[in-house]
Amino acid sequence: MKAMLIDGKAVSASLREAMKAEVEELAEQGITPGLAVVLVGDDPASQVYVRNKEKGCEELGIYSEKYELPAATTQRELMDLVETLNKKPDIDGILVQLPLPDHLDSNAVIEAISPDKDVDAFHASNVGRIMLGDYRFLPCTPAGIMELIHSTGIEVEGKECVIVGRSNIVGKPMAMLLLHENGTVTVCHSRTKNLAEVTRRADILVAAVGKPNFITAEMVKEGAVVIDVGMNRDGNGKLCGDVDFEAVGEVAGAITPVPGGVGPMTITMLLKNTITAAKKQ
Ligand code: NDP
């Protein structure tokens, strides 16, 4: 493979090392950051994410509580739990693992979380702050991607940045972070015409589509930095991203693998937000 591999595990490990020292400093002041993770139902992927978040907390010395609720939990019960956690003094961050079962209104749940404890940065007031470039909490996946881009040594300023995908949790906040670093940003989606023409302009290409092998070598400019956010299963049930890794690796200048790219960074940024929340409380 020609492209440089962007190692999310290594970047994440070095950030976590620094964060561990921060947690130790806080401990000297008698402060232990605390994260509450709420899981409703028994979706296996969500269970894995929650377990990884707990493991990350343990590794850094962050206190964590897990609330596992049955799939039949009512909106009222979930809202009551969020309300209790909002008031709980040893909890600095609240994370409700999405997606929730269909009968629950996730927007209402997100809006019920205190913006000061919204470590996912999904609450409307934190989303608004991201637009203003005034971050209380970093949007986890896009912020992790910025760290990966910085690790390559490439400057975002003046670069053509193309994002494929416009979700509220990845595509849109990603556009804001790149814009704040003076990138020239284009956001593509399912109605974009001549997609390959647009992606081929990218110096930095972020794929957040949710379709295996969606980004092919023909869609990538020689030397581009390619960030693969996708977490999909291929025909054999193996975890894969949105990018045709082997073929694109022959064209790109740098590329993230799946697994081991963006995934570990998202959790690292969540832990960072929890430390930030503890400092602010
Ligand atoms: P969504 O399903 O919310 O968004 C997908 C986006 O892709 C939409 O904006 C959609 O366009 C666009 N899209 C779909 N088909 C096409 C097409 N043919 N051409 C161009 N654009 C298209 O996904 P998410 O943003 O939540 O997640 C994307 C992927 O990233 C998933 O695989 C998810 O699992 C993964 N993910 C990984 C994380 C990590 O930590 N590594 C964190 C979050 C997500 P439109 O809006 O028009 O429908």
Task: Centre a 10 Å sphere on the Cβ of residue 2 and count the other Cβ atoms it contains.
Answer: 11
pLDDT, position 115: 98
C-alpha 25 to ligand 1 mean position (Å): 38
Q: Examine the residue annotation and report whether 120 is marked as an active-site residue of this protein.
A: yes
Phi/psi at 50 (nearest 5 deg)? Answer: -65, -40
- In the set 92, 118, 120, 242, the catalytic residue is 120
DSSP 224-242: -EEEE---EE-TTS-EE-S
Nearest CA to ligand 1 atom 5: 209
pLDDT tens for the chain, residues 1 to 281: 899 999 999 999 999 999 999 999 999 999 999 999 999 999 998 999 999 999 999 999 999 999 999 999 999 999 999 999 999 999 999 999 999 999 999 999 999 999 999 999 999 999 999 999 999 999 999 999 999 999 999 999 999 999 999 999 999 999 999 999 999 999 999 999 999 999 999 999 999 999 999 999 999 999 999 999 999 999 999 999 999 999 999 999 999 999 999 999 999 999 999 999 999 98
Nearest CA to ligand 1 atom 8: 165
Give the torsion sign (CA, 62, 67, 68, 72): negative
Cβ(210) – ligand 1 distance below 6 Å? yes
Cβ(231) – ligand 1 distance below 6 Å? yes
Q: Partners of 35 in the beta sheet? A: 64, 93
Q: Examine the residue annotation and report whether 97 is marked as an active-site residue of this protein.
A: yes
Residue 246 to residues 131, 196, 199, 225, 281: CA-CA distances in angstroms? 35, 18, 18, 15, 46
Q: Are residues 140 and 273 in contact, defined by beta-carbon separation less than 8 angstroms?
A: yes
Q: Can you tell me the distance from the alpha carbon of 37 to that of 58, in angstroms, rounded to the nearest whole number?
A: 13
Cβ(167) – ligand 1 distance below 6 Å? yes
pLDDT, position 128: 97
Overall pTM surpassing 0.95 (yes/no): yes
Side-chain-side CA neighbours of 263 within 13 Å: the count stands at 17
Q: What domains are defined for the chain? A: 30-117 (3.40.50.10860), 140-262 (3.40.50.720)
- Please report the atom of ligand 1 found closest to the CA of residue 144: 40
Beta strands in the chain (DSSP E): 4-5, 34-40, 63-69, 93-96, 160-164, 184-188, 204-207, 225-228, 232-233, 239-240, 254-255
The first and second tokens of residue 171, run together, are 């595509």
Q: Measure CA of the first residue to CA of the last residue in the chain; give whole Å.
A: 47
Q: Examine the residue annotation and report whether 53 is marked as an active-site residue of this protein.
A: yes
Side-chain-side CA neighbours of 186 within 13 Å: the count stands at 19
pLDDT, position 281: 83
C-alpha 210 to ligand 1 mean position (Å): 5
- In the set 97, 116, 159, 221, the catalytic residue is 97
Q: Can you tell me the distance from the alpha carbon of 175 to that of 211, in angstroms, rounded to the nearest whole number?
A: 20
- Please report the atom of ligand 1 found closest to the CA of residue 189: 21
Q: Which of 229, 238, 267, 271 to mutate to test the pocket of ligand 1 (most atoms within 8 A of CB)?
A: 229
C-alpha 91 to ligand 1 mean position (Å): 31
Q: Burial-class residue 45 by CB neighbours within 10 Å (0-12, 13-18, 19+).
A: exposed
pLDDT, position 71: 97
Q: Are residues 36 and 94 in contact, defined by beta-carbon separation less than 8 angstroms?
A: yes
Q: Phi/psi zone of residue 43: left (φ > 0), alpha (ψ -120 to 50 degrees), beta? A: beta
- Please report the atom of ligand 1 found closest to the CA of residue 265: 40
Residue 111 to residues 105, 216, 273: CA-CA distances in angstroms? 10, 38, 18
Q: Burial-class residue 104 by CB neighbours within 10 Å (0-12, 13-18, 19+).
A: buried
